[in-house]
Amino acid sequence: MELQYPSFSVLFTSSLFVLFLLQLVKRSKAKNTNKYSTSNLPPGPWKLPLIGNLHQIASSLPHHALRDLAKKHGPLMSLQLGEVLTVVVSSAEMAKEVMKTHNIIFASRPHSIVTRIVSYDSTNLTFAPYGPYWRQLRKICTTELLSHQRVLSFQTIRHEEASKLVRSIALDAGSPVNLTQKLYSSAFEITSRAAFGERFKDQEAFISIVKEALKLAGGFNVADFYPSMEWLHNVNGLRSKLEKIHEEADRIMGIMVNEHKMHKASGKGREDDDLVDALLKYHERGPNEFSLTINNIKAVILDIFAAGSDTTAGTVDWAMSEMMKNPRIMKKAQDEVRHVFDGKGNIDETGLEELKYLNLVIKETLRFHPPVPLLLPRVCGERCEINGYEIPEKAKVVVNAWAIGRDPNLWDDAESFIPERFLDSTIEYKGNNFEYIPFGAGRRICMPGYEFRPCKCQIRARATSVPL
């Protein structure tokens, strides 16, 4: 009988695994001699050597697993995820401490390989460190990109794309319809037209790239939990994937930005400025004025695509799913749309304020299925105390918005989808009510979310809730 020797790939993988374990042990011993000086961390589950609590969140959806752990260990809980100390917030009271009381301390984001490569070294609004650059960028977004007036200026685009969505569904009458796919395509189409002004040659390729970047950013990457071992990103292939995505996205956006610059230089004004036009106003300004580089502009455009498209489609998708599971709610929403738009022919945004019940459906969807169940993480800028516990500098802090939205101490019948709960309620999604934070709160609230997304959600839900 011939001996079977292991293949080179098996030997190589095994050697890497052994090397990985040896480095973990070595670094773990070094860290044990230099642990956080505080012994008063928030409570948390027992940790395994090397991996800490990673095994406790890898077996199910992270926001579900973290809620279950919080039931045992409290609304302010510490976990050791590989090398990263992570504090998990699971109550409105603790969320207020992080996002309001100690807002400045927790105003920055942790860095990752995704933000470094795809977001042009974290120079977009979402991941830029808290400081002068971020404050100026936020001001531009508030007054220029996402002002109420500019959002309203895109209503023609939203109306045209909603009509196109309805026609697309009508063409499939009598056949199974992949509504999720159609909603996502429509959401990206709106954002693309708002950003660039019109369809462009590489639009489908660009949308595909953004989707892939979002998929990689939201995936489980073990290397992120061992930041001292940068080489792990090369082993798992993530770095090369991200670099390829960045290269192609940069090429396409470069073409679009250059076309806008040439149009501007020719002296031909546009009837309606798009988002690239608005950002170019801040390019190459005087030495005493805030200026954006071309890479900064590209980073912001990618940011708006991610925040304004993917989660918008997801929210409408969940709203339709819940209405289909609840015929009473669906009928009530349909009757309202028919009543408001009876005889008008087109479903547009003129009757937006009259759709009271559909607005309740959207608000309940954002409670029940927040766009980002675990809000984007924050990093502790300096040691502070919350609820009698010490949060060390550089600790990562994650707020479980999904758990807070389903907290039975805050919501009656929290696990049921009941739009009527918001009748005569003053609760809004702008970050002032910490029991309801689908877009976050404080300085790092998701601006494209609460300014841009509800408008798009409502017109889509209206368009798709009426039988064709």
Q: Is 48 helix (H, G, I), strand (E, B) or coil?
A: strand
pLDDT band with cut points at 50, 70 and 90 for residue 294: very high
Identity of the residue numbered 117: I
pLDDT band with cut points at 50, 70 and 90 for residue 188: confident
pTM attached to this predicted model: 0.88
pLDDT band with cut points at 50, 70 and 90 for residue 166: confident
Contact 391, 380 (CB under 8 A): yes
Q: Indicate if the pLDDT at residue 466 is higher than 60.
A: no
How far apart CA 403 and CA 386 sit, in angstroms, is: 19
Distances (CA, A) of 167 to 170, 331, 333, 352: 5, 21, 20, 21
Residues 6+ apart with CB under 8 A from 36: 85, 392
pLDDT band with cut points at 50, 70 and 90 for residue 3: very low
Mean pLDDT of 98-117: 94
Residue-wise burial string across 232-258, b where 16 or more C-beta atoms lie within 10 A, e elsewhere: bbebeebbeebeebbebbbebbeebbe
Helices 447-465, 327-341: crossing angle, 10 deg rounding: 90
Predicted pLDDT of residue 177: 86
The CA-based dihedral angle spanning residues 388, 391, 396, 402, taken in that order and rounded to the nearest 10 degrees = 10
CA 408 to chain centre: 25
Predicted pLDDT of residue 20: 59
Predicted pLDDT of residue 347: 62
Mean pLDDT of 359-386: 95
Contact 448, 308 (CB under 8 A): yes
Question: CATH topology for 40-465?
Answer: Cytochrome p450 (1.10.630)
Predicted pLDDT of residue 233: 78
Residue 175 structure tokens: 């056949």
Bridge partner list, 86: 79, 396
Bridge partner list, 78: 87
Summarize pLDDT for 81-101 with one digit per residue, the tens: 999 999 999 999 999 999 999
How far apart CA 372 and CA 366 sit, in angstroms, is: 10
| Share of residues in the chain with pLDDT > 70 (%) | 84
Summarize pLDDT for 13-37 with one digit per residue, the tens: 444 454 455 555 555 555 544 455 5
- Torsions phi, psi for 386 (to 5 deg): -135, 125
Contact 386, 89 (CB under 8 A): no
457 is in an annotated binding site: no
Predicted pLDDT of residue 36: 54
pLDDT band with cut points at 50, 70 and 90 for residue 398: very high
- Across the chain, mean pLDDT equals 85
Name the residue ranges covered by the structural domains of the chain. Answer: 40-465
Mean pLDDT of 342-350: 65
